[in-house]
Amino acid sequence: MQIPYPWVLGEAHHVALVTNTGTVFGHEIAVAVPTPQASGGQLRLQALVGALVGLLPVALGLMFYPAMRGFGTSGMNFVLALTVGMLAFLLLDMMGEATELAAEAAALFQGSVMVWLSALASFLLLMAIGRWRGRPEGLALAFYIALGIGLHNFGEGLAIGGAFAAGAAGLGTFLVLGFALHNVTEGIGIAAPMLRIRPPLWSFAALTLLAGGPAVLGIWAGSLAYAPQWSAFALAVGAGAILQVMVEVTAYLQRQNSDRQAILYSPAVLGGFLGGIAFMYVTAALIKV
C-alpha cells in the first residue's frame, strides 16, 4: 500500500495513521530517504564492505595460528580462556541488542519472550547436534566457534546496512572501520582449539568464510529488508550459538588439564578470560564513541 505524503528528503517525520474507529498508530522516521532498490552495482559494493568487515579481519586473526602453535600449556590455556572471554562479551552484547530491537517490534511478536525462547532453542539444538557424536574438539570445535561468530557478524552487518539505508553514510563508514578492528581477535579465538593439530589449508578458508561471510548477508538484509523483529530473532539465535560454543570451549579447556576444577581459577585462565572481555569492551566502546 502506498500513501501520498509530503515528505522532505533528509528530514525527520512523525507519521500518524487514524483508523475508522479512531485508533491512532504513530511512527517516527528519523531520516526520510527513498526505499533502497537492489542493483548489481550496489550489491557488489556492499559485498566488498562486508568482506572488509567480516572476511578480512577473521583471516588476519587466523594468520596468528603459526605463532600460537609455539605456546606451552599455560599459553594455550590463556588463549582458550581469551576465546571464552571474547564470546562472553559477544553474548551479552547480542542479547542486549536483540532485546532493544524486540521492543521496537509489533506486540504480536511478543518481543522479549521471542528473544529468550529463540536463544534457548538455538543453544539446546546446537548442544544436541554437537554432542551427537561425542564432544567436539580440534577442527570441529573451531567450526562451532566460527559458526557462532558468523551469526554475530550477521548482526553487525544488519547495523551497517541499516545505517547506509537510513542515509547515515558517515555512521556506516565509522561502523565499518570499528567492526573491522573489533573482529581481528575473532580469528585468534577460532584458531585456539586447533593448536595441537595441523588442519588442512582448505579449513582456514572455510573457517574464514563461515565466520566472516554472514557480514555480507547482514549488510544486504539490513539495507534492503530491515525489520526489527527478524533482526532481533537473528541476534537471539546467534546468542544461543555463542553460549553453546562457550560451554564447549570451557569443557575442552578442562579436558586439556589434569586438574579440571582448579584450572579454571589459575592465573593464565583468569587473565585470559578477563583480558578477552576487556579487549572486546574497549574496541566496542571505540565504535560507539
- Residue among 57, 90, 55, 45 at smallest CA distance from 178: 57
Distances (CA, A) of 155 to 47, 101, 102, 149: 15, 11, 14, 10
Q: What is the pTM of this model?
A: 0.69
Asked if pLDDT for residue 205 goes beyond 80, the answer is yes
Which of 52-56, 57-61, 70-74, 138-142 shows the lowest mean pLDDT across its residues?
Answer: 70-74
The phi, psi pair for 137, rounded to 5°, reads: -140, 165
Q: What percent of the chain has pLDDT over 90?
A: 5
Q: Which amino acid is at 16?
A: A
The pLDDT tens digits for 248-285 are 888 888 887 777 777 888 888 899 899 988 888 887 77
By CB neighbour count within 10 A (0-12 exposed, 13-18 middle, 19+ buried), where does 30 fall?
A: exposed
